[in-house]
Chain A
Amino acid sequence: MTLALSGNEVASQIEEQFPGSVAESTADSLLVKGESLLEIAAYLKTTPGLDFDYLTSITAVDYYDYFEVIYQLTSIEHNHSLVVKARCYGRENPTLPSVVSLWRAADFQEREIYDLMGISFEGHPNLKRIALWDGFEGHPLRKDFL
């Protein structure tokens, strides 16, 4: 069975490397600051012992005050997993860095989140709607969509 790593333990490891980049951590997950997301993701992927070589899924939640994007990472090599979260603010143009450069699996999922939640992923090579058509107005999974 895949071992779920403690968010607290990984958070302290990240804090050593990138001071001030972790906003919050629990036993289940860690919340990182949006501007540090890409470097932390690269660190999680390439650091020996962590080796998160597989992106299981990305999803997003609308909490009205902010959007939270949740990354579920797995290491096939070590058979362990980790949940990383990041928040972005504002309803006009919430933005986070794209992780497509690290995991190609992020390509379609970031497009889906862009399509249905309206979150932009900076650095995505092909950020456009995926499920709905070009010209559709609004982002249907937002809580204020009618």
Chain B
Amino acid sequence: MEVGDVYSSRQLDEAEGEQIEALKAASQETIPDPDQWLEGELKRNILLTSVDALLDWARRSSLWPVVCFPACCAFEFITAEASRFDLSRFGMEILRASPRQADLMITAGTLTWKMAPQVKRIYDQMAEPKWVIAMGACAISGGIFASSYSVVPGYNRIIPVDVYVPGCPPRPEALIYGIRMLHQKIAKISLAAEGK
């Protein structure tokens, strides 16, 4: 085998670099957190409120997280998932490797700009409705790496975040509290407010 055969092509590297630079240039502002539905009580009527209640109950009672664990917060998430903290109590014990089958992204770890296009692609591939929990200091703001040349200063540069769970890393109880807060947030989604 030729030595050159094992290496990626120059064109592939350049395309990857351009993709990262483009994403970085487009991510200089944070994306607003999705919370439109938390206002607008007046738009609800009695019939739709009942449908909303049923739908939101169904949605929040079986959130399936997608696999997105770039760094050490993953271990706290794994602990939360395992027998002691038992996330299956909330109907969310199944982790999906396919974003098509997931509706929650728990961003457990530091994100580098080199990895950012992949994470954004996973998010884009998830079907609506979908939510994001930013887990840990790095996910919220970049944490101790916030001023680094290679780290994304907060996931909300590239994807909208619903709930922030602080900590370095957060304990499983904190993550579960964040998940409970997301449940409360989902409970307020209204079809009328969404305009659908």
Which residues of A line the B interface, CB within 8 A? 125-126, 128-129, 131-136, 138, 140, 145
Q: Is B145 close to A, CB under 8 A?
A: no
Q: Is the interface of B mostly helix, strand, loop or mixed?
A: helix
Closest 6 CB pairs of A and B: A134-B17, A135-B17, A126-B7, A134-B13, A133-B17, A133-B20
Q: Find the B residue at minimum CB distance from A134.
A: B17
On whether the beta carbons of B16 and A133 are closer than 8 Å, the reply is yes
The distance in angstroms between the C-alpha atoms of A134 and B7, with both chains bound, is 15
On whether the beta carbons of B13 and A128 are closer than 8 Å, the reply is yes
On whether the beta carbons of B7 and A135 are closer than 8 Å, the reply is no
Q: Is the interface of A mostly helix, strand, loop or mixed?
A: loop
Q: Find the A residue at minimum CB distance from B149.
A: A140
On whether the beta carbons of B150 and A140 are closer than 8 Å, the reply is yes
On whether the beta carbons of A135 and B3 are closer than 8 Å, the reply is no
Q: Which residues of B contact A145 (CB under 8 A)?
A: 149
> Of A126, A128, A135, A138, which contacts B20 at CB under 8 A?
A135
Q: Find the B residue at minimum CB distance from A140.
A: B149
Q: Which residues of A contact B114 (CB under 8 A)?
A: 131-133
The distance in angstroms between the C-alpha atoms of A129 and B12, with both chains bound, is 13
A–B pairs, 25, beta carbons within 8 Å: A125-B7, A126-B3, A126-B7, A128-B10, A128-B13, A129-B13, A131-B114, A131-B150, A132-B114, A132-B150, A133-B16, A133-B17, A133-B20, A133-B21, A133-B113, A133-B114, A134-B14, A134-B16, A135-B17, A135-B20, A136-B17, A136-B149, A138-B149, A140-B150, A145-B149
On whether the beta carbons of A126 and B4 are closer than 8 Å, the reply is yes
Given A131-B150, A133-B20; 11 other pairs, CB 8 A cutoff:
A125-B4, A125-B7, A128-B10, A128-B13, A131-B114, A134-B13, A134-B16, A135-B18, A135-B20, A136-B149, A140-B150
Q: Find the A residue at minimum CB distance from B2.
A: A125
Q: Which residues of B contact A131 (CB under 8 A)?
A: 114, 150
Q: Distance in Å from the Cβ of A108 to the closest Cβ of chain B?
A: 11
The distance in angstroms between the C-alpha atoms of A125 and B4, with both chains bound, is 7
The distance in angstroms between the C-alpha atoms of A135 and B19, with both chains bound, is 10
Q: Which residues of A contact B4 (CB under 8 A)?
A: 125-126
Q: Find the A residue at minimum CB distance from B113.
A: A133
Q: Which residues of A contact B7 (CB under 8 A)?
A: 125-126
Q: Which residues of B contact A134 (CB under 8 A)?
A: 13-14, 16-18
Q: Distance in Å from the Cβ of B162 to the closest Cβ of chain A?
A: 29
The distance in angstroms between the C-alpha atoms of A140 and B147, with both chains bound, is 13
Q: Which residues of B contact A129 (CB under 8 A)?
A: 13
**Known contacts A132-B114, A132-B150, A140-B149: A125-B14 contact under CB 8 Å:** no
Q: Which residues of A contact B13 (CB under 8 A)?
A: 128-129, 133-134
Interface residues of B in 111-146 (CB under 8 A from A): 113-114
Most buried by B among A128, A132, A133: A133
